[in-house]
Chains A and B, each alone.
Chain A
Amino acid sequence: MMHLKCLHRKRPGNRAFLLFIGGVLLLLVAGCGRSGGGTAVAAETEQRAIQNKGSDTLVNVALAWAEAYRVVDPTVSIAVTGGGSGTGIAALINGTVDIANASRPMKDDEINQALANGIDPVEHVVAIDALAVILNLENPVSELTIDQLADIYTGRITNWQEVGGNDAPIVLLSRETNSGTHVYFLEEVVRKGEKENKDIFAPQTLLMPSSVGITSEIRRNPNAIGYDGLGYVDTTHEKVVAVAADSNSPFVSPSVATAASGEYPLSRNLFMYTAGEPTGVVAEYFGWILGPEGQAIVAKLGFVPLTAE
């Protein structure tokens, strides 16, 4: 009785297994056909693979570009890796990558090293990274200097009164420490861009696991202050603070234009470096990146596109 049952049960299983094997074989055949076609085309023209490495700030954009570009030109394969701006530039100097991503300009000694290796690095600005400081719409404060922001975020100022607001405690919001935005804010605001400054965020800073965490707390808490990539800010629900680099500089509201011109202090250009002027596939790729499609991806990932001016 038991054995009979087992046999009955096995039958449909066998059929399913055969179907599965058949399916796998079909897929394999189809796959072979396609990749065969690809290599044939690749053989006809020059280089079809692009090596791209560097900045972790830029890595998500670079990955999104590479992915979208597969649809534009399926014959080009782009390998993207992170590791940091320094890693990418070092790889460019050693000639192991076609494009190095960097969230800072190349240093003079890096350029000299590259020239010594017979490589002439060419800089391309591909996107802009701007941080907006945001408040609740009810908060009367609308302008802050970098010094005031540093005092607020290190806990030297704890009441809104001290920067011209209501008599209310300041609730500090930040991204988690593993976020690149956190590190950028730490270096440029909390430490005011000073190398030897070792200030850190006040311990009472609320660390939010996501950008959405920051914006939704800002929307409901009139005493909260936070920061976020400009692309994530919705000015109908959050107030964007105008920031001045120091007490002698004008207050500038972040926008695509002020970020691109460098007037807004919390913005930086994001770069890609090539060895010499790009040619062939790399040049086509750059054309697409700087075009409307590539820049739309920049905006989608929360950075400031170059073309929207």
Chain B
Amino acid sequence: MSTLDEAPAAWQEQQPSGAPAAKRNWRETIIETVIRLCGISAVVIITLIFLFLLKEGAPAFMQVPIRDLLGVRWYPIEDMFGLLPLLVGSLLVTIGAVVIAVPLGLTTAVYLGEFAPPWLREILKPVIEVLAGIPSIVLGFLGWVALAPLIQAAGAATGLTAFTGAIILAYMALPTIISITEDALYAVPKEYRDGALALGATQWQTIWRVVLPAARSGIVIAVMLGVGRAIGETMAVMLVTGNAANIPAFGLGAWFQPVRTMTATIAAEMGEVAQGSLHYSVLFAIGIVLFLITFAFNSLATRFIGGRSRRRGGQI
């Protein structure tokens, strides 16, 4: 509030006085510098985080042979540091979450943006945003208390499985996917729709062939942010996936086995591990692997947006 009050006041003060230009330039320089620093700080912080990860995690890559890191057993108190089960666990949960959240999120957004009557939209949008505000641990607890027994009743040996984690993560990613996709659809010019309808396309054809492709870059961002939230989520996953560092047999049944994710491993073990020990640096090495995966994923998505959608006018 106060900055809003002060800005015009300062401006008014300066008008009558003789030399406003110099003073204004001086102020603008400061403001510009502050803004620039804020922009740069993000880059600097990310670089520092990565350097820190490298510094703490590097001993793991030096002291544990790569063959051991690619092993199938994770049992740190016996110096078994096979990362494969953790990698498989994270992948299963994340892929499951994407498969559930993306179609559900896109259809919800299309319904909200294209079909829903305005009064219903006014109700649904805020409710979805409330879903985004639920702390992840609460969703995790819900998964533990309500969802896991259902999955066990459906025939799994235990309700704490990769699938349980995937559902919880999907619901965590949904609000992001829905809101951003809906914004992207909203940004598609009305003329596109009018043009398609005028050519005789049905409403569905218009949406599928014109509106969705036009909003593609926004939709990709929506999915990326949603998945980004899913892959890094820790506490909820730790509660509902069972944390068994096991590589399930290949096939659909794999989702109904307990798994241990990389994030949950770091969270569960970092608290008690001796600082500077091999186990400690291996946990940081897991952090590096996670960082690289997200980095690769983001670069791919950015490239996808940059390459394809510019030609369509760069809408979002």
Binding site for B on A (CB under 8 A): 1-2, 5, 169, 171, 176-178, 183, 186, 198, 200-201, 203-209, 216-217, 220-221, 223-224
Instruction: For residue B221, give the distance in angstroms from its CB to the closest CB of chain A.
Output: 34
For B72, what are the chain A residues with a Cβ–Cβ distance below 8 Å? 203
Q: Are B243 and A208 in contact (CB under 8 A)?
A: yes
For A206, what are the chain B residues with a Cβ–Cβ distance below 8 Å? 158, 160, 242-244, 258
19 additional A-B residue pairs with CB within 8 Å, beyond A200-B78, A206-B244, A224-B158: A1-B9, A2-B10, A5-B5, A177-B75, A177-B76, A177-B269, A200-B75, A203-B72, A203-B244, A206-B158, A206-B243, A207-B242, A207-B268, A208-B243, A209-B238, A220-B149, A221-B152, A221-B159, A223-B157
Tell me if B272 is interfacial: C-beta within 8 Å of chain A: yes
Tell me if B6 is interfacial: C-beta within 8 Å of chain A: yes
Given known A207-B260, A209-B268, contact A177–B77 (CB-CB < 8 A): yes
Instruction: Pick the residue among A2, A171, A177, A209 that contacts B158 (CB under 8 A).
Output: A171
Which B-chain residue is minimally distant from A56 (CB atoms)? B272
**What CA separation (Å) do A87 and B238 show in the bound complex?**
34
Q: Count the A-B residue pairs with Cβ separation under 8 angstroms: how many?
A: 71
Q: Are B75 and A201 in contact (CB under 8 A)?
A: yes
Instruction: For residue B279, give the distance in angstroms from its CB to the closest CB of chain A.
Output: 9
For B271, what are the chain A residues with a Cβ–Cβ distance below 8 Å? 178
Interface string of B156-175 (1 = CB under 8 A from A): 01111000000000000000
Instruction: For residue A160, give the distance in angstroms from its CB to the closest CB of chain B.
Output: 11
Q: Are B272 and A5 in contact (CB under 8 A)?
A: no
Tell me if B294 is interfacial: C-beta within 8 Å of chain A: no
Q: Are A220 and B272 in contact (CB under 8 A)?
A: no
Binding site for A on B (CB under 8 A): 2, 5-6, 9-10, 72-73, 75-78, 80, 85, 144, 148-149, 152, 157-160, 238-239, 242-247, 257-258, 260, 268-269, 271-273
Q: Are B245 and A203 in contact (CB under 8 A)?
A: yes
**What CA separation (Å) do A49 and B258 show in the bound complex?**
50
For B75, what are the chain A residues with a Cβ–Cβ distance below 8 Å? 177, 200-201
Instruction: Pick the residue among A171, A176, A220 that contacts B268 (CB under 8 A).
Output: A176
For A198, what are the chain B residues with a Cβ–Cβ distance below 8 Å? 78
Instruction: Pick the residue among B5, B77, B247 that contacts A183 (CB under 8 A).
Output: B77
Q: Are B76 and A205 in contact (CB under 8 A)?
A: no
**What CA separation (Å) do A221 and B150 show in the bound complex?**
11
Which A-chain residue is minimally distant from B157 (CB atoms)? A169
For A220, what are the chain B residues with a Cβ–Cβ distance below 8 Å? 148-149, 152, 159
